[in-house]
Structure 1
């Protein structure tokens, strides 16, 4: 049994580590009776969710598997089902009942022999006393005169004289009748399987009474009942939702600042380091981290180190190759459709769920041959129907989103042809809204081109120079 103090310590540690955010506090209000008070965060907390989470995260409930690998009556190891196991148990109990009955019959026979001798002694008490007083060897004399057995004579001789005088014929005869009746019942039991099963039922009824719920033993009884419905919940549901600003430095140090800080704020970095990515998220979100080698990694924002320092190296949290460049950091949106493109001018659409990695090693999504890197990872908003691609050669193409296949992994299809260089950037758009891009400089203004007719081609075209004012870095 787990000590109360240890259990409270477990729950308090979960609260301190923010692994049980739906619980506010735990208190010990025990006196003669055990009383642990759990204080939820609010009245809206689902009691079943709180209970199930405590069962899973603490020793309030212990679960173990049952392996019914047993030895049968012939000592042969075998795996039994529950029905077969119970059948063998019943057979074993019947065997125990039979052996116990035979043993009792032996005891009854032995006692009857002595009782018969005591009755003879009672009926001839004066003569028995005379023999004991006058004969040097009274035992043979008693055996010969009263037809006693050796055990009967020995038992009479071993009794004190005072005990002999206290022998009562009625008591002896009543004991003999009781023993004979019990003997008869046991003999009938041994030859009757029906009586044996009835006897087993009677024994089980006695056990049931001894272990009833209102008895001291019964309170410790293991109950067998229908398993309670399992409350399914994700461990993500245990994370307290709060805004966080994700900051990743150029040298790969990551941290999370509480709240949504302005993304253009002058964050502090180590000497020789600087900003790379900054984005807003929630502590319940997952980050998708894409590297130039085509691998994707997943990291929960609740696991980010505090922004009070410079954070921790991202590569100490994920198994990212030292040579791999981090291309994109974005928030995972369930159900989103993602546009992926490589420097070879190839790409495809992928469900966001197919980019999520379950291990530190990440997940290979877009195949990058030697010299090829992942260039663009964009979420495709609802309603977008076109794809815009620009190459290092500063040529722009716009084609229908429907021309791109949806895949889970691979190289993808050709998005744009190049004589020199490769793909620089790719994005999606709604044709009716036009193509927008961010202007260079400190202004950060956005410009939109709505007349895209001259750039609209079939997928795989070479393209034309972009509209006037398009950024020199060939990025949308």
Structure 2
């Protein structure tokens, strides 16, 4: 254990005098805090209004310039740059220096980057790589900041240890503070300035140079608002004007979005530009959180397809039934896709923090640039006058070369030679020394001509520079011309769109307002397997000429936000959302169904399985009626499972298949079977008892021999209806014969009891032994080819058991009509020489 008793202390020296100073703590804290605040304000956080740079940024650019890291040189490690800056000029942490260097190289932070970075310099969401992995050099625009730095254009001051010097401000050949903006938090104050377009700012500065008394409204004609590096939109210009007038104001930034058809079935919102300082990962995370918490509805999927070639691309897939524009407004309201930017134009002017408007910012820069060009002109004139003085001495020496040589040879030393040259040829000390230092090879006749030309050129340049210095107006013209050249070389088109207002009311949207209206509609299935819906639930007219794909196999009433069932030949019903279906615009004559989508896009069919009809999912409907090839009929109780999208609605016997499915309007409807041996049976739907989904149905029609049911449907006996049959040979290959067609009035067929054989629907002629096609439905009947091309049917005959007439085109399907369209091919009987079409059948 440590022995406390053995501890010893060294006694103070005999001449030690203890001094304890009593101070006021509040006074010491006040003084220390003010010193700290002064250091933060002037040496770290606030930019100079002249060059728009903070001290650390200025030191980075100056050090890189001194290191020779020009745009035409290779990149060097950022750690080398940081070390040079920290060791010579900025005695602070390397992290702060590297962070400033990174921002100068980020194109999403700077409107005109000043550092050309090589490597991972981060993104709006991610930090950059460590300085040992990245490289940098000055960007071309940075050369505008440091040019003429060696021509006495700005003052220099000692560095922190007095061993080096650094510029107090950069020459800045363009208004960097307005172009690139800045952010900084000092003590008791902060700055937040938005980037602007170089061409617009230069135009305003040139206007101010030409008209020093220009008003803010005049300047805003050139600078209407910020131009953010990431593009997007700015909503509301009043806040921008407030900032330009007083130095403080706010505006709203919005992402650039478009509503596109991203898949054949769904629309989506494509985001290509985000607000300033907002990254895609931040937006994606926020949207996912809102969807998970059910605060935002209507979004089905979200993909970030951003890459280096196409740039930013966020694809937000919208659920069917939701209005994309309404969902987009909610995204603006709830996510960083819309952000507020608060302008606070605080900068150092003559070493004092000031809040500046647009005019003051431009004026400070213009005054600085005028001073830089004036000092540069004075420096250049002084250098040219000094050179002209030397040239004059050399010319004197060349004109008297022999005497000069004699004087030099006869002198004891260089000091005597310089003195004698000054006395003999009336030269100054500088001229005489220069003549002595000039090699003899320079004193030729050719050099005399060169010196004469150089003298003339120097005299001309001195006169030009003197004219600039003598005329303030000429000086302003030079500054304006140089700014115009900078804008021409480095200017880029505006990226940010300025909008006076969003054009919509900014009120929170409910899930109902996000969704489309749940209006009544009619879901349609064409003979070619196209699905669509109409916003008008009224019965569709069937008169007039028709267009392709307008023959309906099945129709069912629903609502825009409801569901319908697609019934297949295997007895399956697959749920389909009505909102997923394309909408046919309403009109007096409904258009073609060619704008529909194939049913295969909504359900997956097994090999050999076909779609036979549509059914309503409404539990209050009369129910679905099914008919099978073996003559079975079934009415399904509309109690469908809510947690399944695919389920059975009938249990089929082996080898049987559903041939028709129709939604009943009432129990008074007729159910109709038509068989391959041309028998038609109609009976009341009330005679069929509704059954549950697992049931196998009951006898519908009695079949003879090898006959099978070819058609099943339901009709309203109070409405006009047609029966269409096409007879042919059972031994012919499908689709190779046109057959004989007949159209009869449905009223000609008497009603019979269920499970009976029915009555004959068509008399077979020679070569005919089966029905190729049969249909019964509301008049007028419409026919199409297998590809949906409209075909005209023969005229109606009065006899229900009459024979058909030869057709000229093969009919693929018969059904109800969607409406008017194009002229059709005629499929009427082909006339013979004797004038009788029926003779052709024998």
TM (norm. structure 1) is 0.41
TM (norm. structure 2) is 0.25
